[in-house]
Structures are given as C-alpha cells and as structure tokens.
Structure 1
C-alpha cells in the first residue's frame, strides 16, 4: 500500500485499545467519587472526533455528556461545568494553545481533567490531572482518537446504563487493528482511482448521518480543506434537504458516507435523491467492508472508524495525484493558536 507502514498502524491502534483498562479504572473511581457529567473539550478536528463518544453516552446512559468547542466555552462559560465534571481534552501534539488553556480553565472550575495525547511531556500532558499517551501521527490519529473515546464512553455506559456486553465488545474491538489493515488493502485500488478522478475537482459536498457524519465533517474540513486546499460543504444528511439540495446539479460532486447505526435511513434518502440531479455521487459505505469476528452490534459502534481508515487511503493517493503534500500549509505558522 502507498506510503503505509502496517506494523506501525497496528501498534498505534492496539495502543489506543490498550488504554481501555486504565481508562475504565479511572472512570470507575471518578463515578464512585460523585462525578455528575462529562465534557469533551477538544480544539479543532481532535474535538470533532469526540462527537460519536458524546452521542453514544447521551443515548445509552443517564450521565450527561457535552461536546463543546474549547475556545467558545472559555468565552461564554457553562453552568454545567464545575465540581463533579469530567473534562476530556484530546490533543495529538499536546501543544495546541486552546487545548492547554481549556485544561487550565476546566481545572479552575473545579473539574477533573483527562488528556488524551500523542506525546508525553507536553504542555497538555503536564497540565491535565490524568494523562493517557498513545503515540500517533496525522495519518493514524483519527482511528486512535475514535477508539480511545469509544472505550471511555463504553466504560461510562456500563456503569450508568444497561450494557452487559462490555467485555465481549472489548474483545471484538481488539480484533480491529489487524482487520483495519485488511480493510485498507481492499480499498487501495478504489482509493487510487478515486484520487485520479477527483484530483481536479475544486468543490465537494460531503454528507452523512450518525457516526458517519462526524467523519464526513472531519475529512472534508481537516483533510480536504486544511491539507489539500479544496473547498467543501459538509452538511448532515438530515439537513441536506433543507437547503443544500438546491446547490446540487450535474457536475457537482457529492460524497456520501454511510454507516451502520440507526441513522442509516437518513443516508439512504440522500443516496436515492442525489443521482437524479448529479452525475457525480460517490458513496463509501462501511457495510461494504468485511470484519470477520465483529458482530453487527459492534459494527454499529465503529462505522466512523472504518470510514476514517479507508479515507486515509484516498488522501494518501490524492496528495500524489494533486502533487500537494498533506503537510503543506500556508498560514499556520502565522497564527498564534
């Protein structure tokens, strides 16, 4: 596979899942100590990746979970953030200014802070009350953060909801690192063709629902816009028919990401409509990929992980097809953020 280190990938994703035990122990201690809610307060894309975990908790446990923008909550505050709050701050580099500041902000409100970082001995890692380190890089961080936040969410749910399949779910998740490599391999040829056919497209509409929506937003914004300077319009599948459909016509590129959770019918509706008005619909469906040993119940929890892992193959080929390295930036060094 193009620019891909299989052993490194497996090591990183296995490392993310290996945090399930330590995170579960900490969650148990905090809940036993009277924790009343959890906040996911990441900056930028790392914060967006926490959305499936926050939604999973809210839909399956009597424990409020809040997904907030780090910069905004520091500007406007929250009456729900304070003593008894668990604050989860993901930061791959461990140096993002807003991540450092929101850790200090949350601690000042009396919250307990948990940092999920890719590098130890960094400002975020040092500032948080509890730090969990799993090395990753841009090409592996999506799956790593998705999996870390998932096992944290499952720990809360098993204590505050009805989740007797906790141990079995973790056992199935442990199969994922190797299975995701095979998933990447199965998508490699399509990724290359897709990169070649879209290398000159300057505008895409990205849509999806449920977990797939998180990955649609993240990939469109953090990969295509930030790393490839390609204009996108991310829109939730349920909102697609409340405005965005009027922008679709022949030649307009629509990317639809489909997952395997209960929101799938929302994506089906877009898939039925889009071909009637555009000749450029790309559907990537997590259900297409074989995951031996993973039950339909667990597949419904990891659609975003599967979609992220195949889209990484697309971006790996796209940077070659467009002669635009994913590391190229114009303005970041000029920003104090």
Structure 2
C-alpha cells in the first residue's frame, strides 16, 4: 500500500497544477478531516480548501471539482453510503480521489484512485490514525505544491504523537472518573474549543455525547462564545472545554475565566497537562492538539458510559432501522 508521500507525489506527477483540496465525509469521519483542512487553510498561500458533509458534496457539488482537485474521502468502515457515492461523484469529475478507511476492500475504495487503510482498535493512539493520516496527506500536498517551511518539525512531532497519547491516557482515569460522577445525571453539556481542535468539540458533542449517550450537547467555538452563547452561562450549568496549547489558547482561556466567574460546572481537558510542547515546536503545535485531546477524551467517554450504565455502543436508531 502506498504511503501518503508517495500518493501525493504520484498525483503531482500526473497533474502538477493542483488548485484545490476537498475533504469529504460524514459524522466522526468528517470531524477527523477537520485538522487537515484547518492546517491547509492556515498555511497554504495558493490552494483552495473546503470541507463538506458527503451528501452536500453529492447534491450541491462544487463547480471547481475536476482534474486539478484532490478529494479526500473518509469513512471508518468504508460503507457509509453518502461517502461511497462521493468517491464516485469525484472520480466521474476527473478528480484525484483518496479514500481513507479502516476497512481494506470496502465500497469506499472501489472508485478511488488511491487508498489509505489505517488502524483504529489497537490502542488509544490508533483512534486518531485516520486524523493523523489525513493530516500527513495535507502536509505532503502543501510541501509538493508550494513548500512548507516547518515540514521537518511537523513530521518529527507526528512521529512522536502516538507514544505521547498512549502514555497520557495511563494517567487519565482518576480525573475521568471524577468527570463521569459529576456529569452522569446531566441532560445537556455545552462543549467548547477553538482552532484546529474545534471539531474535537463537535465530535465529542455530536457522537460521544448525543449519539452514544443521548445527552444534548451544543458545540461552541471558544472565540464565538462571547458573541451570544455566553448569555446561557449560569451557576452549575455543565460545560466541557478543550484547551489548546498554541496560538488559539487565549480564546479558550478567556472562555474559562468567564465560566469560572459565574460558577458554571466546567471541566477542562488541557493539552498542556499532557506535555504536548515536549514533542512539538511552537511552529506546529497547534495542529497536534486535536489528536492528543481526542485520545484523552476517549477515556472520559468510557468512564461516563460506565457511570451512566449506558454503553457507548447503545443506539436508538443507528443499526436498528432504515433511514
């Protein structure tokens, strides 16, 4: 199987003038694409970047889709119908399609030009293998397209992130149990973050809380919190805040100060607590936050499920009926 670097090299040999990169997926897989999208938005000077939920891509297809497009489509099991269809739409338009999945030979791979098969079940770090592989694709695309000044720093940090995640989760259980006991009876939890970690907040809210625990969970950008949503802040209202180590930390810290000022029930999961800066320089640290915080949050979710006597696999509708 080709590496992300070889895949990108082969694409640029065929089409040196790549103009846009489109990330497509559904649910948690779309959220896993977000850090790569954020990375390219912040670092690319010429490339056009977009992210779409798959059926939006299928029914309202970008007019720029074509031979100068790279389309990265992700689905963990490789069977999500909307994402499978997106690979066909992109391929038919002449785009260079990369499928990213945990399931080799799945329907997602059939119309793709290139396939990346990643881990998932092996460890807590493997839970973010999809996110990591897509970020590497984005880095290689930038490097090939216009060059990336911090390429070596980024690749060095990525080579160490798995070990950091797996070491970090060994210390998390006590605080995760406290969180679980404190929030187990809540019917609503607001989830906040910023920067590259925004969709970690979104995936935590939409999937770990709403899908897997049936807890209502609005997602808020820490920077947008003060532009409307902070009016909901009152004593003992439940919040979960992912705090970044890097350029957008100020946004998270400002939100935390306000939440504490009005005695909201707030829990923070902070990348600084797990030593992200020990493996990542200031130039690249922002883009590593989502992987570390996702790995840690998984332990929190597992403990919450135990405290609520509600397994993470329990569903009302998914896998139960046609929709």
* TM-score, normalized by the shorter chain, greater than 0.5: yes
Runs (5+) with no aligned partner, structure 2:
none
- Checking the alignment, whether the CA contact within 8 Å between 2:125 and 2:166 is kept in structure 1 is no
Matches of 1:73 and 1:116 in 2, distance apart?
Answer: 17
The alpha carbon displacement at 1:242 in A equals 1.9
User: Alignment partner for residue 11 of structure 2, among 16, 27, 30?
Assistant: 30
Match of 2:307 in 1: 321
Count, aligned residues: 318
Matches of 1:85 and 1:303 in 2, distance apart?
Answer: 28
The alpha carbon displacement at 1:29 in A equals 2.4
User: Which range moved further: 40-49 or 131-140?
Assistant: 131-140
Match of 1:79 in 2: 63
Matches of 1:46 and 1:295 in 2, distance apart?
Answer: 27
User: What's the C-alpha RMSD, in Å, of the aligned pairs?
Assistant: 2.0
1:240-293 CA-to-partner distances (Å, cap 9, x unmatched) read 112211112112111111112322211121111111223311121111112544
Aligned partner of residue 103 in structure 2, secondary structure: coil
Match of 1:127 in 2: 111
For normalisation by structure 1, the TM-score amounts to 0.89
The alpha carbon displacement at 1:298 in A equals 3.6
Matches of 2:238 and 2:205 in 1, distance apart?
Answer: 12
The alpha carbon displacement at 1:28 in A equals 2.0
Matches of 1:315 and 1:25 in 2, distance apart?
Answer: 36
The alpha carbon displacement at 1:335 in A equals 4.8
1:166-217 CA-to-partner distances (Å, cap 9, x unmatched) read 2343233212222211111122211111111111111111111102211111
Runs (5+) with no aligned partner, structure 1:
1-18
- Checking the alignment, whether the CA contact within 8 Å between 1:46 and 1:92 is kept in structure 2 is yes
Alignment of 1:112-261 (within 5 A): 112-137=96-121, 142-261=127-246
Matches of 2:206 and 2:233 in 1, distance apart?
Answer: 19
User: Alignment partner for residue 103 of structure 1, among 87, 103, 113?
Assistant: 87
Match of 2:273 in 1: 288
For normalisation by structure 2, the TM-score amounts to 0.92
Match of 1:42 in 2: 25
The alpha carbon displacement at 1:231 in A equals 0.8
- Checking the alignment, whether the CA contact within 8 Å between 1:210 and 1:261 is kept in structure 2 is no
